[in-house]
């Protein structure tokens, strides 16, 4: 496997050759082509992890993207392949500002993660790859402004829960067309399972639940073949966190939904995390997988305007509270009498090291808006079932109330400006005031949460949630009957969040409409309907 150091050395030493004639070069024993037919760039391009001087450029060589042979992922065999990239200042790629080479690593399904530095801040760039005779589509990325530099506006979208089988990705297409500076993927980017026949608009290609490296790879490849998703990735850089379905429904840390022996489940997690890495434009210097572990939490700063804390709510969490075999280990409802474990302060959603990292960021930020981008709804949601005590889901933040209380207390006490939490997973829009104590309507509002709806994935009946809203007055808005995304325009004075919905997720040509608009004023927590 190539180390970071050898990657840099190879890239530096080969630039001249590649500038003269973008060509496929085999590393080691001489140059040779590793595919004979098909477009090696069938999965498109992507960029991510924007910094003030660069970003990560991604592609994966896959001339036979859904190859059924696990020994030939994407139709590729053999060792590492060196390919060329170009970065330009204009969309027609006339004014090239950088040429270089990057390695498509055989150990990672011939994916490329080129960590680019040395570019100018706060401007768009266009890029493409060359391999042999083939050129990739042109993608557009964007550097961030320098930390602390004055910034007047930022425009970004956030999305979650795109089940390929349940619909078309029109939401991704419309988001791409809004010209965002940045896109946040907040989890359930793929679904590992296979829907029953009557729940399918289109089918996962292999018809089996992903559970091995080969089947996870093909799941990502199939999603990336989708033209709307390719268009979105080519339109803007992204930040990516995951939820459960990138691995398995309702898993928690080293515990599967069915509480298998962790050694058994961690083999599956290792495969799933590796495939995630192979398909996402994450920084190799941070996120290269280490066995069954992979760090994805990270922080991104946009001038003096915004800081994004992108966090991981799956990998480090404590085991779900109050599992009763053979009943499912995943989400179920418990009350305080049935499950005192839920309130154990030793339990954590983020793991103590990530909690410390996050709170340290709260204490140090100078940004006007402080965004926590993560996978699951943070607002408390209590449900009165059968006339008894309130019950709480064990699967989301409600299953980790002490961890949530620590986070909100730290956020409040840090006086970080304008905290905003962005979330996914619920397959519905929720806008909430995050109170220091959710059960006390007079307690301070620490920040505001926007949960985006799903791109395609279905939701339980509206009434199942809506009937509990009177018991949860901090929840200001709820709508589960629409699919789509959320779009944010940020200025020093205002955060404007539009809930953007598609007309019909089962229609590949679905149209777009704005369902609601919320504004948050600088210095005033809590969303106001506009
Ligand atoms: Fe989901
Ligand atoms: Ca989920």
Has residue 98 got a pLDDT over 60?
Answer: yes
- Report how far ligand 2's centroid is from the alpha carbon of 244 (Å): 5
- Report how far ligand 2's centroid is from the alpha carbon of 320 (Å): 14
Q: Which residues lie at CB < 5 A from ion ligand 1?
A: 161, 188, 457
- Report how far ligand 1's centroid is from the alpha carbon of 395 (Å): 13
Q: What is the pTM of this model?
A: 0.93
Q: Tokens 């898993």 identify what position?
A: 251
Q: How far is residue 306's CA from residue 389's CA, in Å, rounded to a whole number?
A: 41
Has residue 32 got a pLDDT over 80?
Answer: no
Report residue 349 as tokens: 């959603």
- Report how far ligand 1's centroid is from the alpha carbon of 454 (Å): 7
- Report how far ligand 2's centroid is from the alpha carbon of 86 (Å): 37
Q: Write out pLDDT tens, residues 353-372.
A: 999 999 999 999 999 999 99
- What is the structure's pLDDT at 30? 38
- Report how far ligand 1's centroid is from the alpha carbon of 455 (Å): 9
Has residue 27 got a pLDDT over 50?
Answer: no
Q: Output the average pLDDT for the chain.
A: 92
Q: Tokens 């799941």 identify what position?
A: 219
The DSSP secondary structure of 364-409, one letter per residue, reads H---SEEEEE-SS--S---EE-TTSSEEEESSSGGG-HHHHHHHHH
- Report how far ligand 1's centroid is from the alpha carbon of 389 (Å): 28
* Under 8 Å between Cβ of 163 and 456: yes
Q: Write out pLDDT tens, residues 518-527.
A: 999 999 988 7
- Report how far ligand 1's centroid is from the alpha carbon of 465 (Å): 16
- Report how far ligand 1's centroid is from the alpha carbon of 426 (Å): 7
- What is the structure's pLDDT at 529? 66
- What is the structure's pLDDT at 29? 37
- Looking at the CA of 483, name the nearest ligand: 1
Contacts of residues 293-297 at CB distance under 8 Å and 24 or more positions apart, as own/partner, are: 296/240, 296/241, 296/242, 297/241, 297/350, 297/354, 297/357, 297/358
- Report how far ligand 1's centroid is from the alpha carbon of 376 (Å): 10
Return the percentage of the chain with pLDDT > 90, whole number. Answer: 86
Q: Write out pLDDT tens, residues 462-519.
A: 999 999 999 999 999 999 999 999 999 999 999 999 999 999 999 999 999 999 999 9
**Closest C-alpha among 529, 295, 527, 296 to residue 419:** 527
The region, left, alpha or beta by phi > 0 then psi within -120 to 50, assigned to residue 182 is: beta
Question: Taking residues 258-264, what's their average pLDDT?
Answer: 90
- Report how far ligand 1's centroid is from the alpha carbon of 140 (Å): 28
Has residue 172 got a pLDDT over 90?
Answer: yes
Has residue 274 got a pLDDT over 80?
Answer: yes
Contacts of 243 (CB under 8 A, 6+ apart): 160, 161, 186, 187, 188, 313, 314, 375, 376, 424, 425
- Report how far ligand 2's centroid is from the alpha carbon of 185 (Å): 12
Q: Write out pLDDT tens, residues 189-209.
A: 999 999 998 889 999 999 999
- Looking at the CA of 244, name the nearest ligand: 2
- Looking at the CA of 375, name the nearest ligand: 2
Has residue 385 got a pLDDT over 90?
Answer: no
Q: Tokens 């997973």 identify what position?
A: 425
- Report how far ligand 1's centroid is from the alpha carbon of 427 (Å): 6
- Report how far ligand 1's centroid is from the alpha carbon of 188 (Å): 5
21 pLDDT tier (thresholds 50, 70, 90): very low
- Report how far ligand 1's centroid is from the alpha carbon of 419 (Å): 24
- Report how far ligand 2's centroid is from the alpha carbon of 506 (Å): 20
7 pLDDT tier (thresholds 50, 70, 90): very low
**pLDDT: which is higher, 428 or 10:** 428
- Report how far ligand 1's centroid is from the alpha carbon of 425 (Å): 5
Return the percentage of the chain with pLDDT > 70, whole number. Answer: 92
- What is the structure's pLDDT at 53? 98
Q: Write out pLDDT tens, residues 278-305.
A: 999 999 999 999 999 999 999 999 999 9
- Looking at the CA of 458, name the nearest ligand: 1
Q: How far is residue 49's CA from residue 53's CA, in Å, rounded to a whole number?
A: 11
Q: Tokens 């024993």 identify what position?
A: 29
Per residue, what are the HEC states of 429-484? EEEEEEECCCCCCCCCEEEEEEECCCCCCCCCCHHHHHCCHHHCCCEEEEECCCCE
Has residue 2 got a pLDDT over 80?
Answer: no
Q: Write out pLDDT tens, residues 43-95.
A: 999 999 999 999 999 999 999 999 999 999 999 999 999 999 999 999 999 99
- Report how far ligand 2's centroid is from the alpha carbon of 415 (Å): 31
34 pLDDT tier (thresholds 50, 70, 90): low
């Amino acid at each position: 496997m190539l180390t970071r150091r050898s990657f840099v050395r190879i890239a530096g030493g080969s630039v001249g050759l590649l500038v003269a004639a973008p060509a496929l070069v085999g590393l080691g024993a001489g140059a040779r082509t590793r595919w004979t037919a098909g477009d090696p760039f069938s999965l498109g391009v992507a960029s991510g992890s924007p910094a003030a001087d660069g970003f990560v450029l991604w592609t994966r060589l896959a001339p036979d993207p859904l190859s059924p042979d696990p020994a030939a992922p994407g139709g590729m065999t053999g060792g590492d392949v060196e390919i060329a990239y170009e970065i330009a200042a204009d969309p027609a790629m006339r004014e090239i500002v950088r040429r270089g080479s990057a390695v498509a690593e055989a150990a990672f399904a011939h994916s490329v993660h080129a960590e680019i530095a040395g570019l100018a801040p706060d401007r768009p760039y266009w890029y493409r790859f060359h391999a042999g005779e083939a050129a990739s589509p042109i993608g557009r990325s964007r550097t961030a402004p320098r930390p602390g530099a004055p910034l007047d506006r930022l425009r970004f979208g956030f999305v979650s829960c795109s089940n390929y089988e349940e619909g078309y990705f029109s939401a991704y297409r419309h988001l791409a067309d809004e010209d965002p500076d940045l896109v946040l993927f907040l989890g359930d980017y793929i679904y590992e399972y296979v829907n029953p026949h009557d729940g399918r608009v289109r089918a996962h290609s292999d018809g089996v639940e992903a559970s091995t490296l080969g089947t996870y790879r093909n799941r990502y490849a199939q999603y990336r073949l989708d033209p709307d998703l390719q268009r979105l990735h080519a339109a803007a850089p992204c930040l990516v966190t995951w939820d459960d379905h990138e691995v398995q429904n309702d898993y928690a840390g080293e515990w599967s939904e069915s509480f298998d022996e962790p050694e058994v489940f961690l083999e599956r997690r290792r495969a799933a995390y590796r495939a995630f890495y192979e398909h996402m434009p994450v920084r190799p210097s941070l996120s290269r997988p280490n066995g069954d572990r992979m760090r994805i939490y990270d922080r991104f700063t946009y001038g003096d305007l915004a800081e994004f804390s992108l966090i991981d709510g799956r990998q480090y969490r404590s085991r779900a509270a109050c599992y009763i075999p053979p009943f499912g280990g995943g989400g179920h409802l418990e009350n305080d009498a049935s499950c005192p474990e839920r309130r154990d302060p030793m339990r954590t959603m983020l793991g103590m090291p990530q909690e410390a990292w996050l709170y340290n960021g709260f204490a140090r930020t100078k940004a006007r808006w402080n965004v926590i981008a993560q996978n699951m709804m943070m607002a408390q949601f209590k449900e009165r079932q059968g006339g008894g005590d309130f019950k709480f889901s064990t699967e989301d933040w409600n299953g980790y109330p002490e961890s949530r209380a620590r986070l909100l207390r730290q956020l409040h006490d840090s006086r970080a400006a304008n905290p905003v939490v962005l979330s996914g997973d619920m397959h519905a829009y929720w806008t909430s005031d995050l109170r220091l104590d959710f059960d006390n309507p007079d307690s301070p509002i620490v920040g505001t949460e926007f949960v985006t709806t799903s791109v395609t994935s279905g939701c339980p009946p509206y009434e199942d949630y809506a009937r509990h809203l009177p018991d949860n007055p901090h929840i200001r808005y709820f709508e589960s009957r629409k699919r789509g995304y959320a779009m944010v325009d940020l200025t020093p004075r205002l955060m404007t969040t539009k809930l953007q919905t598609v007309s019909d997720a089962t229609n590949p040509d679905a149209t777009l409409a704005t369902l609601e608009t919320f504004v948050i004023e600088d210095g005033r927590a809590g969303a106001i309907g506009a």
